[in-house]
């Protein structure tokens, strides 16, 4: 039975995961690992973890830990995932999965060769909204989807993880990855043509970007991401007879169904939740207990699809993400 979760890293995203686990009856936050034992002990006391370790390896070596959540900067994902998999420990790696597709392919190959589960914590992929929205689209309520528009902007330019190229900084790996996954969740056909422009920051990372994707079925997706300004996070999927509006493309609370003259014909309120992170933990548990090495909601092929797309974008911008 998969129940006991270990977390490595004690930053903001680890705090959100710990808050989620503390409120789940079917999961247990067992262990926290940090490079600082003092920091790990303070984190454990705050969130109720039974065990605090002053290294990541101790979490990987703990026989009672069923799944490790890797909540570290992008540049640390590869080494941590390698160590976890080599220790035989299933792991859920915070988005973006790796710094580039080469690292991603290497980790996936290692996990498959050893029969160890590995997944990406891109939480919208696991949430109920995905199935609800797909069922709306498949019902024909908006006709044939033709266009997706979405923007995600947060002013986080002072964060070290965003500023520094060697940490995988920039808007794409931090925010743009959500936009690409949103489009991919609802448009199944591959990207055929790509047009993009980007503002590079003084530190050499992508600050703000605009991406237009033309898919093989003729659907167009236009998305914008910025880590240098505060903006909206709505998304629209437009079809031949209507459109869907998501109030938040990452963690929506409502989907509005609109038809001609912008009349809201239906508003779907999404299920109550703890934080939204609970769905990815349960998906991992279910997959591991079924003997899988990947969750069906975000299979390895999809991880690689998104990573290759991000490599392609950064190559266009002259920022290769291989620091």
The pTM of this model reads: 0.96
Domain boundaries, the chain: 4-124+276-305, 128-272
Asked whether residue 322 carries a pLDDT value surpassing 60, the answer given is no
Q: What is the pLDDT of residue 143?
A: 97
Contact 152, 270 (CB under 8 A): no
Which whole-number Å values give the CA distances from 74 to 57, 97, 131, 239, in the listed order?
A: 18, 7, 29, 36
CATH number of 128-272: 3.30.360.10
Q: What is the pLDDT of residues 159-194, one digit of tens each?
A: 999 999 999 999 999 999 999 999 999 999 999 999
Write the CB contacts of 133 (distance below 8 Å, at least 6 apart in sequence). Answer: 185, 186, 237, 244, 246, 255
What average pLDDT does range 263-284 have in this prediction? 97
Tokens representing 163 are: 């500023």
Q: Which CATH number fits domain 4-124+276-305: 2.60.120.1440, 3.30.1370.110, 2.40.50.100, 3.40.50.720?
A: 3.40.50.720
Asked whether residue 135 carries a pLDDT value surpassing 80, the answer given is yes
């Amino acid at each position: 039975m998969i129940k006991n979760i270990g977390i490595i890293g004690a930053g903001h995203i680890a705090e959100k995961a710990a808050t989620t686990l503390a409120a789940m009856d079917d999961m247990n936050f067992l262990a926290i690992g940090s490079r600082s034992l003092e920091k790990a002990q303070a984190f454990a006391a705050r969130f109720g973890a039974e065990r605090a370790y002053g290294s990541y390896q101790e979490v990987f070596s703990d026989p009672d830990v069923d799944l490790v959540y890797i909540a570290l900067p992008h540049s640390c994902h590869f080494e941590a995932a390698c160590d976890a998999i080599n220790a035989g420990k299933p792991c859920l790696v915070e988005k973006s999965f790796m710094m580039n597709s080469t690292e991603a392919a290497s980790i996936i190959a290692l996990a498959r060769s050893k029969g160890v589960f590995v997944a990406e914590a891109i939480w919208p992929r696991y949430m109920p909204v995905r199935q609800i929205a797909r069922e709306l689209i498949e019902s024909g309520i908006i006709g044939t989807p033709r266009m997706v528009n979405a923007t995600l902007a947060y002013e986080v330019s002072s964060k070290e993880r965003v500023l520094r190229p060697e940490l995988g900084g920039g808007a794409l790996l931090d925010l743009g990855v959500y936009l690409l996954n949103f489009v991919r969740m609802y448009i199944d056909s591959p990207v055929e043509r790509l047009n993009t422009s980007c503002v590079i920051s003084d530190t050499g990372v992508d600050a703000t970007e605009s991406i237009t994707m033309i898919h093989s079925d003729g659907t167009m997706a236009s998305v914008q991401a910025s880590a240098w300004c505060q903006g909206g996070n709505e998304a629209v999927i437009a079809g031949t007879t209507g459109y869907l509006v998501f109030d938040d493309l990452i963690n929506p609370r409502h989907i509005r169904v609109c038809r001609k003259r912008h009349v809201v014909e239906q508003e779907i309120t999404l299920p109550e939740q703890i934080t939204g992170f609970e769905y990815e933990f349960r998906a991992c548990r279910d997959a591991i207990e079924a003997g899988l090495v990947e969750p069906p909601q975000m299979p390895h092929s999809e991880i690689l699809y998104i990573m290759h797309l991000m490599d392609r974008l950064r190559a266009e911008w002259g920022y290769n993400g291989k620091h």
